[in-house]
């Protein structure tokens, strides 16, 4: 049985580094976005091939490749959203009195294209790995999808820390769909449910019969534990942006360095990344 430490450390490093790279690229001038997405799309194609190849590889190596490939697919979706390529038809916040289901519908309109892309991504990952003994990629993608949806719902319902620093200027209107409050009814269920599943994955790791299964469960449980930690970041008074301080230093004239004019323009007009 493989040691838990190595896959856990790998999951942490992949989570930290890929998040930082996306934040760094998203902090560069908008003119660079199409080139960043072009490079990310090339990586996406390679990840798709890796998914298909690793599906038949039920070994320790196959577990790492499938996990990494799924993370890269998810990274492409995150970049496409944060850079404004795949968001939703609504490009502005609600009026002050908007609330209830109407407000929820407007919030959904602001991100619906990305949600559809995420669903299509799940179909693609499932199709690329269908029939193979290595299902680590689909499980990795499912964890990312479920916990990201949970995070979005908790931000909408209300948490103390909204993570505004992680939003670029052209997506500042999304803050209108966030709510700052001490707690919401969903948060305890989110963290409790995810923590229980994490414990179940650790139990599966402990009872795994071979290196492939133990490594897969170690990677998955570590990733889910990190997602639970990200949820706690929404309620605990911690300077979480310091984890990626290097990513926020993309250079002068970026969309994240307090460019007031850029923020004003983003608030007044929709952003078209291809222009």
> For residue range 191-205, what is the model confidence (pLDDT) as tens digits?
999 999 999 999 999
Stretch 70-91: mean pLDDT: 97
Contact indicator for 170, 28 with CB cutoff of 8 Å: no
Phi-psi region of 159 (alpha: psi -120 to 50; beta: other; left: phi over 0): beta
Whether 275 has a pLDDT exceeding 60, the answer reads: no
Distance CA 28, CA 37 (A): 12
Tell me which residue has tokens 């070994």: 59
Whether 273 has a pLDDT exceeding 50, the answer reads: no
| Higher pLDDT pick, 251 / 8 | 8
Percent of the chain predicted with pLDDT > 70 = 89
pLDDT digit string, tens, across residues 177-227: 999 999 999 999 999 999 999 999 999 999 998 999 999 999 999 999 999
Residue 115, in any domain of the structure: yes
pLDDT at 113 (0 to 100)? 98
Contact indicator for 2, 218 with CB cutoff of 8 Å: yes
pLDDT-derived band of residue 96, with 50, 70 and 90 as boundaries? confident
Residue 275, in any domain of the structure: no
pLDDT at 237 (0 to 100)? 87
Residue 273, in any domain of the structure: no
What is the overall mean pLDDT for the chain?
89
Angle at 146 between CA 136 and CA 115, to 5 degrees: 110
Distance CA 194, CA 98 (A): 31
Stretch 62-70: mean pLDDT: 97
Reading the block at residue 214, the tokens are 């133990």
Find, among 184, 9, 168, the residue nearest to 85 by Cα: 168
Q: How far is CA 6 from the centre of its chain?
A: 23
Residue 147, in any domain of the structure: yes
Whether 261 has a pLDDT exceeding 80, the answer reads: no
Distance CA 107, CA 90 (A): 8
| Higher pLDDT pick, 245 / 120 | 120
Residue 208, in any domain of the structure: yes
Contact indicator for 218, 139 with CB cutoff of 8 Å: no
Distance CA 14, CA 33 (A): 22
Provide the number of structural domains found in the chain: 1
Residue 41, in any domain of the structure: yes
Residue numbers of the domain that contains 100: 5-238+245-268
Residue 274, in any domain of the structure: no
pLDDT at 250 (0 to 100)? 59
Residue 185, in any domain of the structure: yes
pLDDT at 3 (0 to 100)? 85
pLDDT digit string, tens, across residues 144-169: 999 999 999 999 999 999 988 888 88
Give 87's DSSP letter: -
The Cα-based distances of 72 to 34, 51, 65, 85, 125 in angstroms read 18, 10, 10, 17, 11
Interhelix angle 100-129/136-157, nearest 10 degrees: 170
């Amino acid at each position: 049985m493989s040691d838990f430490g190595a896959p856990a450390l790998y999951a942490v490093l992949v989570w930290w580094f890929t998040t930082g790279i996306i934040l760094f690229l998203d902090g560069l001038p908008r003119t660079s976005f199409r080139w960043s997405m072009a490079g990310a799309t090339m990586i996406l194609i390679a990840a798709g091939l890796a998914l298909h190849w690793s599906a038949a590889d039920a070994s320790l190596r196959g577990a790492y490749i499938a996990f990494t490939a799924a993370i890269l697919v998810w990274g492409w979706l995150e970049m496409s959203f944060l850079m404004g390529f795949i968001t939703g038809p609504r490009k502005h916040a609600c009026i002050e009195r908007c609330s209830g289901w109407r407000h929820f519908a407007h919030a959904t309109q602001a991100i619906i294209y990305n949600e559809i892309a995420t669903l299509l991504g799940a179909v693609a990952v499932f199709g690329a790995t269908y029939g193979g003994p290595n299902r680590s990629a689909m499980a990795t993608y499912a964890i990312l999808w479920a916990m990201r949806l949970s995070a979005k719902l908790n931000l909408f319902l209300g948490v103390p820390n909204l993570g505004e620093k992680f939003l670029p200027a052209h997506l500042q209107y999304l803050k209108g769909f966030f709510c700052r409050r001490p707690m919401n009814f969903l948060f305890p269920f989110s963290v409790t449910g995810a923590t229980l599943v994490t414990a179940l994955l650790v139990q599966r790791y402990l009872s795994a019969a071979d290196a492939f299964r133990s490594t897969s469960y170690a990677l998955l449980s570590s990733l889910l534990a990190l997602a639970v930690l990200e949820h706690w970041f929404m309620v605990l008074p911690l300077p979480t942006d310091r984890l990626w301080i290097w990513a926020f230093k993309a250079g002068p004239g970026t969309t994240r360095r307090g460019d007031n004019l850029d923020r004003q323009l983003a608030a007044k007009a929709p952003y078209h990344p291809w222009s």
